Structure 1
Amino acid sequence: MLGYAAMNRTLRDSDTPRRCNRDMRKSTWESKGLKYAGELAEQNFRDLLAILQWNYKHNINLYRCSSGLVPWNSQFDLNELPNYETIQEIAQQCGELIKSEDMRLTFHPDHWCKLASESEDTVRRSVRSVVCHGQWLDLMELDRSPRYAINVHIGAHYGNKEATADRFCEVINDLPPEAKSRIVVENDDKESLWSIQELVNQVSDRTGIPVTFDYHHHKFTDRGLTYREAFEMAVSTWGNHRPIAHYSETSRLHGDSDARPQDHSEYVSDLPDWLRKRADVIIESHQKEQSVLRYTPDKFV
């Protein structure tokens, strides 16, 4: 199956805009608190359901949801929200659709999520972030497994990769089950950071968590492995679960000579057949669902 991340541009630009990342500033949180957070979360879950329904209609069965689904959730427990029961009901509808139609829903916490940081405060906040993501998936009554992945990066090496891997593995092993059962780790797009080979040998072999193969990132951290060789290493970590992979292309391939090599293009033009056959693929491009529609015929015509 194919999918995309976060914004559905078609629905976002419709007469009734649909998006599931409504948030608020710190000052608004401090003035409006739980009631407003609950209102935004309810709107986000309602629109997540609408996005999932649109995806199903258009034969898109993989979706990476925004990490803004429940704003300021780090500051409260879900059941403290005044409208918790309403949110729970809508979340369960999302989960029922996902399960009945064999869809996949994933998350990708932002770059501030650094589970291997040398700062105890940063680690604490990062742990809270992945736990919140796990609780949202629990609210949808989705299995605690990598099928519904919480995808993270190690994000740095802090001058000592071995020590960083040790810290990361220690934090992963201590996570509560709603997070640990779903965590997967992805290769990076900077030469000095984490390759597929390093993640398999230094993280997955020690913790059992799967490794997400990012096709575009591999060119920056190949360590002498071909795309197929690195992909096979990543696949070996997924056990009985179908792997998730990411595919994108640099804007430079599409005429933007001023772009960084890491920058994503508007669309993609060369999705490898072997990748699509062996993995569920999230296409990362600026045109979001429009890129996926080029490869996926509608269910209903």
Structure 2
Amino acid sequence: MIIRFGYVAHALSLWEATPAKTMTFSRYKKLKEEERIPELQRITRLNLQHTLRAIHYNIAHEIPLYRFSSALVPLATHKEVEWDYITPFKELYAEIGKLVKKHQLRTSFHPNQFTLFTSDKTHVTENAVKDMEYHYALLKAMGLHHESHINLHIGGAYGDKEAALERFHENLKQLPNPIKKQMTLENDDKTYTTTETLEVCEKEGIPMVFDYHHYMANHTAEEDLAELLPRFYETWAGYRFPPKVHLSSPKSEEAYRSHADHVDETFVTPFLKVVKQTEQPIDVMIEAKEKDRALLKLVEDLAAQRGVKRLKGGELDF
């Protein structure tokens, strides 16, 4: 079973390379009017340059998956700040996309928890659509809008999960179809279980991202991995890439839902053994505080197991 790995946004092994430098609206307002756009452009250019550095690092270390930072563009969706964050950086976006395609990397975005479609408040849904449009615009500028995904959680339950799910399906109609086509949904660690997320994905025709840590923190006694995995795989039928999984491990028993700095090999191995029985290749996004360092350590730890072979820097035959 082939497993490919990736990490989130910031390659910690690189010096001063965060792709998520930002500017608050308060700071923006304090600047002279003629300084505002140039400063937004400066920060955005730096974030994109750091993203390029990460892409080159991934290529050199044979890391095939990468999640772009959602904070590439400061104040991109702020209602009082409207600026062109595409045109001045067309060459940078194109360079990123060209590298991704040339080296067949798998990229994605994961907007924050405030981008959701279960709210009964109109402005929340409007903001969610606006945020998804922002992420899609970046992918389109990179030429990756047909292959990269934007991953979301279903959202809150607000005391009535059934009503919230009905709102999700209704509110999602406001999302333009080309953007919806690039959307994935992930099971969460408190509210929507794997089964519930699968049901939504199956109804909407949206691929599911399976988070094993979330499953362990939030599953029912009736849920069985061996039974759920085929349904999860089926949501990816017809797509270019294998089904996608998120892996992390608990920071502690007390802080079970929090992500540890690294991924505990003993925590994830039982899951990988279940997947191995299905003989289905998977792509894995590491969600650990140590990011690329955690990825490389986990690959090394797993490769030391009997019968596991490391094929590339970020790829195993498990």
1:267 aligns with 2:262: yes
Q: 1:84 to 1:107 in 2, by over 3 A?
A: closer
Q: 1:38 aligns with which of 41, 54, 57?
A: 41
Q: CA deviation at 1:178?
A: 4.4
Question: 1:287 matched to which residue of 2?
Answer: 290
Deviations 1:48-73 (A, max 9, x none): 11101101110111111111011111
Moved more, 234-243 or 126-135: 234-243
1:152 partner SS = strand
Question: 1:93 matched to which residue of 2?
Answer: 95
Deviations 1:169-190 (A, max 9, x none): 2232331244212111111111
Q: CA deviation at 1:79?
A: 10
CA contact under 8 A between 2:188 and 2:215: conserved in structure 1?
yes
Q: 1:174 to 1:117 in 2, by over 3 A?
A: same
Q: Match for 2:243: what amino acid?
A: P
Distance 1:249 1:29 in 2: 38
CA contact under 8 A between 2:6 and 2:65: conserved in structure 1?
yes
Aligned residues: 284
Q: 1:26 to 1:227 in 2, by over 3 A?
A: same
Q: CA deviation at 1:280?
A: 0.7
Alignment of 1:145-184 (within 5 A): 147-184=147-184
Q: CA deviation at 1:206?
A: 2.2
Distance 1:40 1:194 in 2: 36
CA contact under 8 A between 1:116 and 1:164: conserved in structure 2?
yes
Q: Match for 2:150: what amino acid?
A: I
Q: 1:135 aligns with which of 134, 137, 155?
A: 137
Distance 2:19 2:176 in 1: 26
Q: TM-score, normalised by structure 2?
A: 0.82
Distance 1:94 1:79 in 2: 24
Q: 1:50 to 1:159 in 2, by over 3 A?
A: same
Q: 2:13 aligns with which of 7, 10, 15?
A: 10
Q: CA deviation at 1:210?
A: 1.2
Q: Match for 2:149: what amino acid?
A: A
Question: 1:229 matched to which residue of 2?
Answer: 227
CA contact under 8 A between 1:9 and 1:287: conserved in structure 2?
yes
RMSD: 2.3
Deviations 1:154-212 (A, max 9, x none): 2211122222112212232331244212111111111xx111211222x2222111111
Give the gaps of 5 or more residues in structure 1: none
Moved more, 48-57 or 204-213: 204-213
Question: 2:70 matched to which residue of 1?
Answer: 67
1:73 partner SS = coil
Q: 1:112 aligns with which of 104, 111, 114?
A: 114
Q: Match for 2:39: what amino acid?
A: Y
2:214 partner SS = helix
1:126 aligns with 2:128: yes
Distance 2:87 2:128 in 1: 27
Q: CA deviation at 1:103?
A: 0.4
CA contact under 8 A between 1:135 and 1:178: conserved in structure 2?
no
Q: Match for 1:102: what amino acid?
A: Q
Question: 2:303 matched to which residue of 1?
Answer: none
CA contact under 8 A between 1:113 and 1:126: conserved in structure 2?
yes
Question: 2:307 matched to which residue of 1?
Answer: none
Q: 1:171 to 1:68 in 2, by over 3 A?
A: same
Q: Match for 2:237: what amino acid?
A: G
1:10 partner SS = coil
Give the gaps of 5 or more residues in structure 2: 300-309
Question: 1:199 matched to which residue of 2?
Answer: 197
Q: TM-score, normalised by structure 1?
A: 0.87
Q: 1:84 to 1:129 in 2, by over 3 A?
A: closer
Q: CA deviation at 1:148?
A: 1.2
Q: Following superposition, which runs of at least 4 residues in structure 1 exceed 6 angstroms of deviation? A: none
2:185 partner SS = strand
Distance 1:182 1:84 in 2: 19
